[in-house]
Structure 1
Amino acid sequence: MHLFPRLIVPDPDQASAFYQDALGAEQVFRAPPIEDGRPSVVDHRIGDSFFRVSPAVSEWGWLAPGDLGGSAVLVEVEAEDPDAVGESMAARGAEVVVPIENRPYGKRSGRIRDPFGHLWILTGELR
């Protein structure tokens, strides 16, 4: 069994480019486009993990965070250097929601909202 989170976004091509640039994601699959020309799914790999990006299509019930008034899911990334990942995302248009700092629960973590409204927790070892 495998789990592939699917992030719903207005523009899968723009989101795919962001995740490749900001996170070093590798695009590993691209499905044929739907009627409006957007790909129905774009698969990505980061290390041993995979995630998908698909377009918002309200008649299918596929809604992006902006359609819902915010993100209903947190995507958590454990990284060797969460500060560098957060800086990379912020440099490309993401918003720092909670600064990356040492936390009392024994992790260094913070929260970032990507340009498409998805919330990411970036976490790693204490510094």
Structure 2
Amino acid sequence: MKLSPRLIVPDPDRASAFYQDALGAEQVFRAPLGDDGRPAVVDHRIGGSSFTVSPAVSSWEWLSPSDLGGSAVLLEIEVDDPDAVGERMITHGAEVVVPIENRDYGKRSGRIRDPFGHLWIITGELR
């Protein structure tokens, strides 16, 4: 069994570029939606995990966080250096929701909203 989240975004190509630049994701597959060249799906890999981005299409009930008034899901990514990943995300247009700090539960973590409205918990070992 395998679980791979699909993130619905207004612009899959822009989102793909963000995830590649900010998170080091590798684009492994891209399927066009129609004649305009816009992708229906773009698959990515980060380490041993994968996720997909697809365009918001209201007639399919594929709604982005902005269509819903916010993100209904938290995506958690464990990394060696949460501060560096958080800074790369911010440099590429994300915003801090909860600062990355050492937490009482034994992790260094914080929450970042990417430019497409998805919420990410960036976590790693204490510093």
TM-score interval for Structure 1 and Structure 2 normalised by the shorter chain: over 0.9
Deviation at 1:36, TM superposition (A): 5.1
Moved over 6 A (4+): none
Identity among equivalent positions (%) equals 81
Distance 2:34 2:101 in 1: 42
Distance 1:121 1:48 in 2: 18
Give matches, 1:110-125, under 5 Å: 110-125=110-125
Distance 2:94 2:83 in 1: 13
Number of residue pairs matched by the alignment: 127
- Per-residue deviation, residues 29-81 of structure 1 (Å, max 9, x unmatched): 01122365421100000111100000000000000000000000000000010
TM-score by length of 2: 0.97
Distance 2:119 2:32 in 1: 27
Gaps of 5+ in 1: none
Distance 1:47 1:7 in 2: 18
- Does 2:29 match 1:32? no
- Per-residue deviation, residues 66-103 of structure 1 (Å, max 9, x unmatched): 00000000000000101100000000100011000000
Distance 2:53 2:34 in 1: 14
**Secondary structure of 2:50's match?**
strand
Q: Which amino acid aligns with 1:84?
A: A
Distance 1:37 1:59 in 2: 19
TM-score by length of 1: 0.97
Aligned to 2:15: 15
Gaps of 5+ in 2: none
Distance 2:34 2:28 in 1: 19
Aligned to 1:100: 100
Distance 1:64 1:102 in 2: 31
Deviation at 1:9, TM superposition (A): 0.1
**Secondary structure of 2:39's match?**
coil
Give the superposed CA RMSD: 1.0
